A and B are shown apart, each in its own frame.
Chain A
Amino acid sequence: MIHVRLEPQGRELRLPKACTALKLLRELGLGVNSALVIRDGELLTPDRRLNIGDEIVVRTVTSRG
């Protein structure tokens, strides 16, 4: 499983198999410039591969007020 935490919503979800950061963003309905994809304190570009066991933070960037 890949463990994904969405910020700032705080929602959590799990993905059953490896994919890329781009695929993850698309599954979440987000554009490539809508959110940061973070693994172990490192920013990932859309082409980076996510592996089973990864802990990923997806942080949307649109400020609200």
Chain B
Amino acid sequence: MKCRKCKALAAVALPSHNTAFCPDCYPVFVRSQVERAIHRHKMIAPGDRVLVAVSGGKDSLALTLLLHELGHDVHGLHVDLDIPGSSTDARAACEGFFAKLGLPFTVVELRREGLAIPLVKSRIKRPICSVCGKLKRHYFNKFALENGFSVLATGHNLDDEVSRLFANTMRWDASYLSDQGPVLPAADGFARKVKPMYRLTEFEIANFSFLRGIDHVIAGCPYSGRASFPVYKSLWSDLEGRMHGAKVQFYENFLRDGRPVFAAWAEHREDPLSPCTVCGYPTSAEVCGVCRIREMVRVESEAPRS
């Protein structure tokens, strides 16, 4: 296979784009996809301070590199989950990456918050992946607001977005379908959230990370064995193998035709947000989700163990 641009020997073949690229031209293609996403959805304005949520995986580190090279003012935030055999490597990958680029970087340790994931997992019967996601979103948002960042960027890719959309559609969860997309505007108590990698698949980002020498963690979270997203991703991978372009078509057509319908529906049903009575964080309930998790951990920790 030859590179579409320079005709050198190709390193990456992309059936969904019916093309291939050499190691020099491929990163240019990836960068153009991110630039197009940022431009099309007006994700980042000049002068924005961008907080990038980084996990140590290929997606968030690639996003950091791309935003930095595109000239944006980026600061990394990692939430250390304290999971044995996983979190130490993830944190080290982030620290090494940001030190190499000379970019500012902060770590929030859940252990210091009394919410280390192994402790939470042992005390709460809910699926740990959803609890972990809720905690990470809370601390990313909190840090962004408290430190004056105008944009919170995450490394969500097309596979993440399609899987989430598929899961929400399977449940016909109109509330989630009303605001799923690559941009979530700032609201009272919530930072503006953007997903500049939403046009790129995991495969495309993995190739980019390899070619750019990004030293990221490869092993998955040891607690993710029963998560549903890998199942959806596998289904969509099979479908994409038979119907090239199915993922991007499903997602882009939803943004164009589906989301506006659900957004209009949600305008009439939106639960008003009010400050959490414990911590002041905006919530549609009396007490926010994170404070409820904290309380469940406390109650279970104090209960006599059989």
Contacts and interface: CB of A to CB of B under 8 A. Distances in A.
Interface in A5-60: 7-8, 31-34, 36, 38, 42-47, 59
Contacts of B230: 62, 64
Contacts of A63: 57-59, 202, 220
Contacts of A45: 1, 10-13, 20
B13 A62 contact: no
Contacts of B206: 36, 59, 61
A24 to B, nearest CB: 14
Given A61-B203, A64-B227, A36 B210 contact: yes
Interface in B121-151: 129, 132
Given A59-B218, A61-B202, A64-B224, A32 B15 contact: yes
B116 to A, nearest CB: 16
Contact of B12 (A7, A8, A43): A43
A65 to B, nearest CB: 3
Max chain B Cβ within 10 angstroms of own Cβ: one of A32, A59, A62: A62
A65 B234 contact: no
Contact of B227 (A7, A32, A44, A65): A65
A36 B1 contact: no
B129 A65 contact: yes
A34 B15 CA distance: 12
Given A62-B230, A64-B230, A33 B210 contact: no
Interface of B: 1, 10-13, 15-16, 20, 23, 57-59, 129, 132, 159, 201-203, 205-207, 210-211, 218-221, 223-224, 227, 230, 233-234, 237-238, 240-241
Given A33-B15, A59-B218, A61-B202, 13 more contacts: A33-B201, A34-B203, A43-B23, A43-B207, A47-B1, A61-B206, A62-B202, A62-B230, A62-B237, A63-B57, A63-B202, A64-B227, A65-B227
11 contacts: A31-B238, A31-B240, A33-B15, A33-B16, A33-B240, A36-B210, A45-B1, A45-B12, A62-B233, A64-B221, A65-B224
